[in-house]
Amino acid sequence: MDKSGISSVNNSQYDLYLQEIEGIDDYWGPTFRAIFDNNQELEFEKKLNERIKHHDKDIERLCNVYYQGFIESVKELLEVRSQANKLNSQVVSLDKQVHDAAGGITKSSSDLLQARKVQNNIASVIAQLNLCLPVFIIYSKLQKQIADKRYYPALKTLEELEHLHLPHVANYRFSKQLQENIPKYREKIEGASMSDLKDFLENIRKFSPKIGEVAMRHTNEQIASDPTVVGRKKKRNAPQPPGHFSDEDRSAQELIDFSPIYRGLHIAHVLGRSSTFEAYYRTERTKQVRLVLQPPSNMHESEESYRIYIYAVLGFFILEDHVLNTGRGLITRTFLDEMWSMALSKVVTALQTNTAYCTDASLILRIKDLIMLFCTTLRNYGYSVKPLWELVRELRDHYTEVLMQRWVQVFRKILADEDFRPIEVNNQEELNEVLLSFPWEGDLPDDIRYPYVFPFSSMVPKIYREVKEFIYACIKFSEDLNLSQVEVDEMIRKSMNLLLTRTFNGCLTSTLRSPHVNLQEIIQIIIDTGYLEEANIYLDQFISNITGEETRSVTSSLTHGQSALFSVSREDAVRQICEKLKQKLDEFFELENYDWLLVEPNGHASVYISDIIAFLHATFQSFTNIPQEAAQMACKSACDHIAKSLLAMLVNEEIKQISMGALNQLNLDLLQCEQFAASEPVEGLQEGILLTYFEHLREILDLFISWDWPTYFHDYAQETNKYKKVTPEVAIVILEKLKEGDKKTMFTVLKKSERDKKKLLETVLKQLRQLAQIPAGK
Amino acid sequence: MAKTYDYLFKLLLIGDSGVGKTCILFRFSEDAFNTTFISTIGIDFKIRTIDLDGKKIKLQIWDTAGQERFRTITTAYYRGAMGIMLVYDITNEKSFENIKNWIRNIEENASADVEKMLLGNKCELEEKRQVSKERGEQLAIEYGIKFIETSAKASIRVEEAFFTLARDIKAKMEKKLEASNPPRGGHQIRASEPQKKPTSWLSRCTIL
């Protein structure tokens, strides 16, 4: 309240009132009273209006000022809004950011929590696993061992697992399962070891021939390198050097892994099944040995089959020997010995049977070598081989047989190609050739004139050479046979004798029997055998040179044997000569042309008889080279045959009638024969011996021609009887014929003398019949 | 004993060694052939019965050794022979030439009326032939005897040769029989060879 200065004292009052109103909001009464009291009211009212005007002005100015500010504020507010928006977005983004950040943390923390949990779990699991792990390690070891077929360690491991480890983890299920599995494993191991054993058995079956072969080769090398063997004869009884065994063993082991057996044995031992294992092994091996001992069906056909068979057997027993030595009682000596002795007999039988078929000498030789080597090797392993030696001996006999068979062919060929003519040489060269091929003792003339003829045929040197070849072949078998000289010597001599006496003689006999062989050839054969016999002494020496044995032929019984060497053939040859002669004689007899009712003979012998005699003379004269003995035999047989043929004609039933004239003719013929017999047709015959063949006929003819019946009956059965060879039976037959022959003439002529004659004849016949009734010798 | 034949003819084969006498005989008697040469020692014979005009004829054929060393033995048989075959080898000139000597031998030793025949053997060896057929025929004509070329090996005309000779002998004999006495039967063949006397036989035996 500004009222002028006059008024200032009033104005200051008024200002005070204003201040009071202004200063006090509601307690204005006093103020107003005061105003009124002072009756200032109008001034005051003016002053108040002024104040109000001032205030209004002030408010206006203030409002003005504030409006400006308001505008500005609005402006600013607008600004703020945008900024607020901005801020808002900032906050929102920030919030988002924070939110985001917080979310990661939350996750991490939960993760962390989880991790912590896991960590805890892990720790506990590790602890448990530490307990279980050894079990599993052992278990896996077990598995590996089983897989590696190391069954024995596996078994040990199994035990460890069972007793050491499994109790610790007993509360686990797997433990229980393992526990349950343990017996199964045991079984499996046992089974596996058994199957291993089977594989092994199969394997050794496959390899044993190879082992046998190697062993045989070793033996062979050893024999070859052994200085004691290279010498004259080896000493098989000498103990083998100890190194030899290991050598063999190594080779066997090189080829065969024996560990399955040992392992199996260990396992069986651990499992307490040793006896089962043993029994199984033995049974299986016994079965196998049977298979091995079964020879291939065609073994006799080739050496290779023998080889395979022998290798297999040998291999089998080498292995068995090895098992015996190293197998800690898997097999016993007794078992092996039993098996061997069974096997040995079978081997021997098999070889025996098969070699019996063999006809090839060289194959037999090779088989022999094989068997010998087999024996030696077996002996080295301590097996007894005695029956095999026996077999070899048998084989030797068989070999000789086969050789003989072969030489039969050789001899046959020689004989078939032979012309049986004395060798004729035209020059010195050929002569020497013969002399070289055959040791001939005969003397050669000082000045040989060609062509020179040897007494023997080319068969002689050929046979001689072949016999030598045979001896060589025989000896081949004795090589390495470890026989004494005496044995070899004996064997060869025996074989040679057999060859000559049996084989060669047989060949000769069949040659002699051949229908085409003629007299001349037979005679040459006789001569040839003589020379071959003479050459025997050289063969004897030949053998002695080879065997180193003393020649024994000169003193021993062999000489006897040799002189009889070809006696069979020679007898046969002589018999053949006789046969041939008889055939010729029979041909002559075919030409016989007797007129049995001849009244009067013309005084000379029948033509055919003359021819026979001439022929015989010529024959014995021609065959100058026939040995005397043979000639004598032939001559005797010829005479015998003639006499018998004549007699046969006389008593021939077909001839019903005979005349005295015919008897006289026969007598003439007989005289011819007797003349021949007395003429010494061959040298060296005992005087009169040929005549004895005709005696029988002679007595008959004498009796009938002389009609000397009183003497016959008187001297009957006495030594001095002239007709002692005439039996009543023969006499009856001839007498009957004579009677028949007489009939025709007696028809017409019935003279008294004829009747007497007839009567006498009847009496004689009656007498003869009586004699015939009496048994001979009375 | 019943007679198995009507006539007995004794034939003789002569000729050089190796001309094939034995082979001819072998062919005729056994109808076979043997290539291996075995020279005959001394003397041998074969018998074959043939049928001629209804007669059974036994041929006793003597095979002689050609070799010189048996000459004494063989000539002894000439006399008894009723027919003689002279054999040569057509591949061997010498054997043909020697036929003359053989004929001389026959003339000296055999009976005068002996039937002869000339055989040229080995006619299958045409490529080795040395003696022509014509020469053989020529020679046969010269001596008035028959001639045949034969082959024992190929069996050519061997039968024919023997049959021809046998027929000739038979004809000659029958003619002679008719001449001497009227026909009475076949048993009289002995009459055709009555030359031999017992003494001569004995003496011959001692010579042999």
* Contact flag A622-B38 (C-beta cutoff 8 Å): no
What b/e sequence results for A754-767 when a residue is b if at least 16 CB atoms lie within 10 Å of its CB, and e otherwise? eeeeeeebeebbeb
Of A520, A596, A615, the CB nearest to B38: A520
Query: In the structure, what pLDDT confidence band is assigned to residue A231 with cuts at 50, 70 and 90?
Result: very low
Query: In the structure, what pLDDT confidence band is assigned to residue B39 with cuts at 50, 70 and 90?
Result: low
Domain boundaries A595-773, CATH class: mainly alpha
Mean pLDDT of A564-570: 75
Looking at the complex, report in whole angstroms how far the Cα of residue A654 sits from the nearest Cα belonging to chain B. Answer: 6
Contact status of B52 with chain A (Cβ, < 8 Å): no
* Contact flag B205-A614 (C-beta cutoff 8 Å): yes
Average pLDDT for chain A: 79
Phi and psi of A560, rounded to 5°?
Answer: -60, -50
pLDDT for the residue B85: 94
Looking at the complex, report in whole angstroms how far the Cα of residue A757 sits from the nearest Cα belonging to chain B. Answer: 27
pTM: 0.63
Phi and psi of A653, rounded to 5°?
Answer: -65, -25
pLDDT digits (tens, 9 = 90+) for A513-557: 877 777 778 888 888 888 888 888 888 888 888 777 665 544 344
Of B3, B65, B80, the CB nearest to A593: B3
Of B1, B37, B196, the CB nearest to A652: B1
Q: Which residue's entry shows tokens 């009723």?
A: B82
Of A519, A520, A590, the CB nearest to B4: A590
* Contact flag B38-A668 (C-beta cutoff 8 Å): no
Q: Which chain A positions have a beta carbon within 8 Å of B76's beta carbon?
A: 614, 618
pLDDT digits (tens, 9 = 90+) for A640-679: 999 999 999 988 888 888 888 899 999 999 999 999 998 8
Of B2, B41, B187, the CB nearest to A595: B187
* Contact flag B205-A613 (C-beta cutoff 8 Å): yes
Of A587, A593, A622, the CB nearest to B47: A587
Looking at the complex, report in whole angstroms how far the Cα of residue B190 sits from the nearest Cα belonging to chain A. Answer: 8
Q: With left for phi above 0 and alpha for psi between -120 and 50, is residue A433 left, alpha or beta?
A: alpha
Of B38, B60, B187, the CB nearest to A518: B38
Contact status of B47 with chain A (Cβ, < 8 Å): yes
User: For A401-571, CATH number?
Assistant: 1.10.357.30
- In chain A, what is the straight-line distance between the N-terminal and C-terminal CA atoms, in Å? 235
Contact status of B184 with chain A (Cβ, < 8 Å): no
Query: Is the model more confident about A316 or about B24?
Result: B24
pLDDT digits (tens, 9 = 90+) for A761-774: 888 888 888 888 87
Q: For an interface test with A, give the residue of B6, B44, B197 to mutate (most A CBs within 10 A).
A: B44
Nearest by Cα to A700 from A658, A647, A748: A647
Query: In the structure, what pLDDT confidence band is assigned to residue A387 with cuts at 50, 70 and 90?
Result: confident
Q: Which two tokens stand for residue A484?
A: 């004494």
Query: In the structure, what pLDDT confidence band is assigned to residue A254 with cuts at 50, 70 and 90?
Result: low
Query: In the structure, what pLDDT confidence band is assigned to residue A560 with cuts at 50, 70 and 90?
Result: very low
In order, the DSSP letters of A209-246 are HHHHHHHHHHHHHHHHH-HHHHSSS--TTSPPPHHHHH
Mean pLDDT of A205-233: 68
pLDDT at residue B57 tops 70: yes
Q: Which span out of A94-103, A548-557, B87-96 was modeled with the highest average pLDDT?
A: B87-96
Looking at the complex, report in whole angstroms how far the Cα of residue A748 sits from the nearest Cα belonging to chain B. Answer: 24
Query: Is the model more confident about A73 or about A731?
Result: A731
Contact status of B71 with chain A (Cβ, < 8 Å): no
Q: Which chain A positions have a beta carbon within 8 Å of B193's beta carbon?
A: 607
- The answer to whether residues B98 and B16 touch, using CB atoms and an 8 Å cutoff, is yes
pLDDT for the residue A118: 92
* Contact flag A607-B42 (C-beta cutoff 8 Å): no
pLDDT digits (tens, 9 = 90+) for A428-476: 888 888 888 888 777 777 777 777 888 888 888 888 888 888 888 888 8
Task: Give the single-character DSSP code of A472.
Answer: H
Three-class HEC string of A370-401: HHHHHHHHHHHCCCCCHHHHHHHHHHHHHHHH
* Contact flag A617-B205 (C-beta cutoff 8 Å): yes
pLDDT at residue A602 tops 50: yes
pLDDT at residue B137 tops 90: yes
Mean pLDDT of A702-717: 87
pLDDT at residue A178 tops 70: yes
pLDDT > 70 in chain A, percent: 90
pLDDT at residue B149 tops 90: yes
pLDDT for the residue B163: 94
- Determine which of A78-87, A97-106, A437-446, B100-109 has the lowest per-residue pLDDT on average: A437-446
pLDDT for the residue A742: 73
pLDDT at residue A684 tops 80: yes
* Contact flag B198-A655 (C-beta cutoff 8 Å): no
pLDDT for the residue A35: 77
Q: For an interface test with B, give the residue of A458, A583, A611 to mutate (most B CBs within 10 A).
A: A611
pLDDT digits (tens, 9 = 90+) for A330-360: 778 888 888 888 888 888 888 888 877 777 8
Instruction: Name, in order, each residue with C-beta under 8 angstroms of A288's C-beta and a sequence gap of 6 or more.
Output: A201, A205, A316
pLDDT at residue A697 tops 80: yes
pLDDT at residue A778 tops 80: no
Looking at the complex, report in whole angstroms how far the Cα of residue B1 sits from the nearest Cα belonging to chain A. Answer: 5
pLDDT for the residue B89: 95
Average pLDDT for chain B: 83
pLDDT at residue A412 tops 70: yes
* Contact flag B42-A621 (C-beta cutoff 8 Å): yes
* Contact flag A590-B198 (C-beta cutoff 8 Å): no
Of A419, A614, A679, the CB nearest to B76: A614
* Contact flag B43-A622 (C-beta cutoff 8 Å): yes
Query: In the structure, what pLDDT confidence band is assigned to residue A5 with cuts at 50, 70 and 90?
Result: low
Q: What chain A residue is nearest to B3 in terms of C-alpha separation?
A: A593
- The answer to whether residues A471 and A539 touch, using CB atoms and an 8 Å cutoff, is yes
Query: In the structure, what pLDDT confidence band is assigned to residue A750 with cuts at 50, 70 and 90?
Result: low
pLDDT at residue A508 tops 70: yes
- Report ipTM (2 d.p.): 0.79
pLDDT for the residue A7: 55
Alpha helix segments (H runs only) across A591-688: 607-622, 628-651, 660-678
Contact status of B111 with chain A (Cβ, < 8 Å): no
Following CA atoms B164, B166, B171, B175 in sequence, which dihedral angle do they give, to the nearest 10 degrees? Answer: 150
pLDDT for the residue A556: 41
Give the count of Cβ contacts less than 8 A between chain A and B.
Answer: 86
pLDDT at residue A699 tops 70: yes
Domain ranges in chain A are 40-147, 197-232+249-384, 401-571, 595-773
pLDDT for the residue A28: 76
Mean pLDDT of A77-93: 84
Instruction: Break chain B down into helix, strand, coil percent, rounded to 5.
Output: 40, 25, 35
pLDDT > 90 in chain A, percent: 7
DSSP lists the bridge partners of residue B146 as: B117
Instruction: Name, in order, each residue with C-beta under 8 angstroms of A186's C-beta and a sequence gap of 6 or more.
Output: A155, A158, A271
pLDDT for the residue B114: 92
Q: Which residue's entry shows tokens 């070809």?
A: A566
pLDDT at residue A701 tops 80: yes
Looking at the complex, report in whole angstroms how far the Cα of residue B80 sits from the nearest Cα belonging to chain A. Answer: 9
pLDDT at residue B195 tops 70: no
